[in-house]
Amino acid sequence: MTRIIHVNGTLVPENQASVSVFDRGFLMADGVYEVTSVLNGKLIDFAGHLARLDRSLSELEIPNPHDPATWLAIHRDLIARNAMTEGLVYLQVTRGAPEDRDFVWPNPATCPQTVVLFTQAKPALADNPDVKRGWSVIFVDDLRWGRRDIKTVQLLYPSLAKMMAKKAGADDAWLVEDGFLTEGTSNNAYIVKGNTIVTRPLSNDILYGITRSAVLRLSREKQMEVVERPFSMAEAQDADEAFVTSAWHCCRTHA
């Protein structure tokens, strides 16, 4: 079945979906995105994703084109039209497509945001075999820009790091800055020692993971100690266990 894509309020088959060549997301990575998991046709932690979307847009001074009720209606409609029960909804908002390329931002009153959403089926999302198999990871330098707390579409270096891992025969790369782990290429990273979970604290250095928030809350409810601080490569290698979380991954790792 051909997927139905949402492009600026219009629903079109995927082979007809397009945006302007002058879109600032295309030319300058001037945009943000969110990915929401769908299980049994239901959106998971949707309010958290909307809150993070609003924060990311605000940090880049991009107006939010929709209110929460409209975003929810768009997501539900897309899920229904694509008959998706398990998978992901990808949402991207850019600053829009001015008449020409320019480093100066266009006037939002005359250049509306570009809004694109699509679904991606993930039949094994709730029972990912990686959870049982585990991941192997390598360590690479974190060379990303300094505002990783904003979920921008600027993903070139994480993609490069992911390919470094694949070429080394590993599943992912853990990014290292000043001797301490920041996060994975597309996930938050944790180590476990005894009854203690250690993960880097929230700051501009890492993404404010929605799944991260849920995992830490549930861990505290289960009487585990949660320590939010940087940890080193040596600590990761000496840990009893290590794992990652994201909208579509939660699995054990080994370095």
For 164-212, how does the pLDDT look when each residue is reduced to its tens digit (9 = 90+)? 999 999 999 999 999 999 999 999 999 999 999 999 999 999 999 999 9
Long-range contacts of 44-53 (CB under 8 A, 24+ apart): 44/247, 45/210, 45/211, 45/214, 46/72, 46/75, 48/210, 48/213, 49/210, 52/151, 52/208, 52/210, 53/91, 53/93, 53/151
Polymer length of the chain: 255
Residues 17 and 77 in one domain: yes
Pair 71, 111 in one domain: yes
Domain that holds residue 49: 4-121
- pLDDT at position 248: 61
Residue 149 phi/psi, 5-degree rounding, is -75, -15
Containing 78, the helix (H) or strand (E) segment is: helix 68-81
249 and 134 co-located in one domain: yes
pLDDT of residue 247: 72
Q: Which residue, of 121, 147, 181, is where some domain finishes?
A: 121
Residue 22 and residue 108 share a domain: yes
Positive or negative, the CA dihedral 218, 55, 121, 188 is negative
Q: Where are the beta strands (DSSP E) in the chain?
A: 4-7, 10-13, 31-39, 42-43, 86-94, 114-121, 135-141, 172-177, 180-184, 188-193, 196-199, 225-228, 241-245, 250-254
The residue out of 121, 151, 180 marking a domain boundary is 121
Q: How many CA atoms lie within 13 A of 2 on its CB side?
A: 9
Distance CA 74, CA 68 (A): 10
> What's the token pair of residue 140?
């690479």
- pLDDT on residue 40: 94
pLDDT at position 12 is 98
Spatial strand order in the sheet of 114-121: 10-13, 4-7, 114-121, 86-94, 31-39, 42-43
pLDDT the model gives residue 25: 98
In tens, the pLDDT along 118-176 reads: 999 988 777 778 777 889 999 999 999 999 999 999 999 999 999 999 999 999 999 99
Res. 241 pLDDT band, cuts 50 70 90 = very high
Residues 38 and 111 in one domain: yes
Phi, then psi, of 118 in degrees rounded to 5: -150, 160
Averaged pLDDT, 243-248 = 84
Among this protein's residues, is 132 annotated catalytic? Answer: no
Query: Which CATH number goes with the domain that contains 155?
Result: 3.20.10.10
Tell me the β-bridge partners of 109: none
pLDDT for res 124: 76
Pair 81, 62: CB distance under 8 Å? no
Task: Answer yes or no: do 154 and 233 share one domain.
Answer: yes
What are the C-alpha distances in Å from 214 to residues 48, 105, 221, 245, 250? 10, 36, 11, 10, 12
- Looking at the structure of the chain, the number of domains it has is 2
Q: Out of 76, 99, 121, pick the residue that ends a domain.
A: 121
Average pLDDT, the chain: 95
Alpha-carbon span 88 to 75, nearest angstrom: 10
pLDDT of residue 252 exceeding 60, the answer is no
State yes or no: pLDDT of 255 exceeds 60. Answer: no
Token look-up 């000043």 returns 178
User: Per-residue pLDDT tens for 203-238?
Assistant: 999 999 999 999 999 999 999 999 999 999 999 999
Residues 67, 45, single domain; the answer is yes
Q: Looking at the structure, do residues 139 and 240 belong to the same domain, yes or no?
A: yes
- Does 249 lie in the same domain as 146? yes
- Residue 206: what residue type? I
pLDDT of residue 249: 55
170 plus 196 within the same structural domain: yes
Confidence band for 27, pLDDT divided at 50, 70 and 90: very high
Q: What is the CATH number of the domain that holds 58?
A: 3.30.470.10
The one catalytic residue in 151, 162, 167, 222 is 151
Are 153 and 242 within one domain? yes
107 with 185, same domain: the answer is no
Eight-class DSSP state of 158: H
Q: Which of 215, 166, 221, 159 is nearest to 190 (CA)?
A: 215
Cα angle 67, 28, 157; round to 5:
100
